[in-house]
Amino acid sequence: MADDLASLWKEQQVAPFLQGSMGLRTGGRPLLKLDVAVGAILTGCLRSDGIPRPLPVEKRSELAECRAELERALADLPLDPESRAYFSRLELLAAAILKG
């Protein structure tokens, strides 16, 4: 699991934010800002090696809220296949951290 998480995290780190997602919003928040918020929490938790570190309670709560927004975006927004893969990967990473 840790190796899968590390490789998924590395894949997400090098993936560009897709232009097809610009301007889309979920819950009133632009997807770009949601991506930045989740990425910041994951960077603090996974760093560059992809090994999870404990999250403070407030960051765990913020990540849970962001994950819910990601789930809504994946269900409700007209994402192209590349954007869907990008945000699905982000949601999987958030879910793995919240689970662990």
In a domain, 24, yes or no: no
In a domain, 76, yes or no: yes
Which range of residues forms the domain containing residue 76? 2-16+34-99
The pLDDT mean for the chain works out to: 92
**SS3 category, 1:** coil
Assess contact for 35 and 15: CB atoms under 8 A: no
CA triple 2-55-14, angle to 5 deg: 55
Residue 86 one-letter amino acid: Y
Helix (H), strand (E) at residue 18: none
Comparing CA positions, the residue from 12, 17, 9, 11 lying closest to residue 47 is: 9
17 or 71: which carries more pLDDT confidence?
71
Predicted TM-score (pTM) of this structure: 0.92
Share of the chain above pLDDT 70, in %: 98
In a domain, 23, yes or no: no
Q: How confident is the model at residue 83 (pLDDT cuts 50, 70, 90)?
A: very high
In a domain, 88, yes or no: yes
> How buried is residue 66: exposed, middle or buried, by Cβ count under 10 Å (0-12/13-18/19+)?
buried
In a domain, 62, yes or no: yes
33-68 pLDDT per residue, tens: 999 999 999 999 998 777 889 999 999 999 999 999
pLDDT of residue 18: 87
